[in-house]
Amino acid sequence: MSATGRNTVHSNSVRRPSRSGPAVLFGVLLSLLATILLSAPGAFAREAAEEASTAAPAAASTAAPAAALTEVTGFGSNPSNLQMYLYVPDSVTANPAVVVAVHYCTGSGPAMYSGTEYASLADRYGFIVVYPSVTRASKCFDVSSSQALTRGGGSDPVGIKSMVDWVTRTYSADTGRVFATGISSGAMMTNVLLGDYPDVFAAGAAFSGVPFGCFATTDGSEWNSACSGGTVIHTPREWGDLVRKAYPGYTGARPRMQVWHGTEDDVLRYPNFGEEIKQWTDVLGVSQTPAATDSPQSGWTRTRYGATGGRAPVEAISLQGVGHNLYANGMAARALTFFGLDSSGPAPQPQPGACKVTATTSAWSTGLTGSVTITNTGTTRIEGWKLGFTLPSGQSITNGWGATYSPASGTVTATNATYNGTIAANASVSIGYQANHTGNSSAPATFVLNGATCSGS
């Protein structure tokens, strides 16, 4: 069905499937023209095809039905004939935020709806989700042509921008809270959207992607083997200039970026992860030296650039030993935390202040005992926690209780024990440790709980 269709309302909607099952795994990339496309697992693709076949369009003049995936037609300029699918929760907030969720090669908007948690998270937090869907044979987004890499140049980014404009008009959405996220081809498009339209998108989250402009070609091909192989290397300034060239003369604020990559990615090789970091730290004018490094989950390394909290200018998550199909349930929620959308209401709540930590030490000649009390000052309970802090120079933990501590010195992460992983709203947990010191027996000054900087007392 063409996304440039008539302006009449057909409000039949798609039954919403359950999203409570295990994570949907995405397919592997085949070779271009023969089979260089990413394919979704059979069940995933069949479910998406069934949904797409029953979805009926809503016209550009009418809001879509709530709590159902709906195709919208006639939404505006759409040079590459994309389809627009929309999910609006029953509990949509006034002036809602908008999340654009972009599919992988051979995928579709309905497949992205079925295989990720963005719709269920929209039910919880009241934002709207847009699912662009490619109609060209490859089902890959155009991230290669000069038209796609230029603001207003044509191709897919223009159509996606029209979808965003339609939603903001129809639902009085908050134009300051529009976000993009995607997987593989969708991750590459996330990079492109943030480069082409820095005045539209506040932040992005790219799962297994490449930098803006890396996939550029001049022969009409959709595929760039040098980029996919991780051999396109530039300086930070060169990468940044590619982004700035997309919208010459723009001097406004730039969107924040979160990037994810597996070290064993054999489709879009791991060096692309480092190149994305170089690009977006340059675009955002922050140091390439991490302001914070931690491990939010076993095998993960998270680095933050330009700030230490959950909404740093650039956040990068590297997954050790993981291949191209890294997306799993729970990652969308982490993207929402980065966006600032993981709380209900018309505006994102600031993360600092959601927790409070009181820390004291009792010292003797070469040792000390540290006592730490963590208080959940938020309105929802915490299920599983990691507390990050930096020990003063010369201190080294010898043993502890209430948590496991790693490493023993420097930047330490305390991970909850089995019995105290849940902290109810307004409740507290106390932990402690013993440490050696060489003269400085002070308590740590700053604490970060699950990515949120805690206030002191």
Pick the catalytic residue from 145, 162, 184, 185.
184
Amino acid at 92: V
DSSP 8-class letter at 226: H
**What does the chain come to in residues?**
457
Q: Helices 271-284 and 236-246 sit at what angle, rounded to 10 degrees?
A: 70
153-185 b/e (C-beta count within 10 Å ≥ 16 → b): ebbbbbbbbbbbbbbbebbebbeebbbbbbbbb
- Distances from the Cα of 61 to the Cαs of 8, 55, 169, 257, in angstroms? 8, 18, 10, 33
Helix (H/G/I), strand (E/B), else coil: 292: strand
Contacts of residue 213, defined as CB under 8 A and 6 or more positions apart, other chains included, come to 149, 195, 239, 242, 243
Sheet of 367-376, strand order: 355-363, 367-376, 428-436, 396-401
- Distances from the Cα of 136 to the Cαs of 1, 82, 336, in angstroms? 12, 8, 30
For residue 357 the two structure tokens come to: 């930590």
Q: Confirm whether 184 is a catalytic residue.
A: yes
Helix (H/G/I), strand (E/B), else coil: 426: coil
> Using CA atoms, how far apart are residues 25 and 94, in angstroms rounded to an integer?
34
User: Could you tell me the sign of the dihedral formed by the alpha carbons of 220, 226, 228, 234, in that order?
Assistant: negative
> Using CA atoms, how far apart are residues 12 and 53, in angstroms rounded to an integer?
12
The DSSP line for 305-374 is ES-SSTT-SEEEEEETT--S----TTHHHHHHHHHT-SS-SSSPPPSTTSEEEEEEEEE-SSEEEEEEEE
Q: Which residues are catalytic?
A: 184
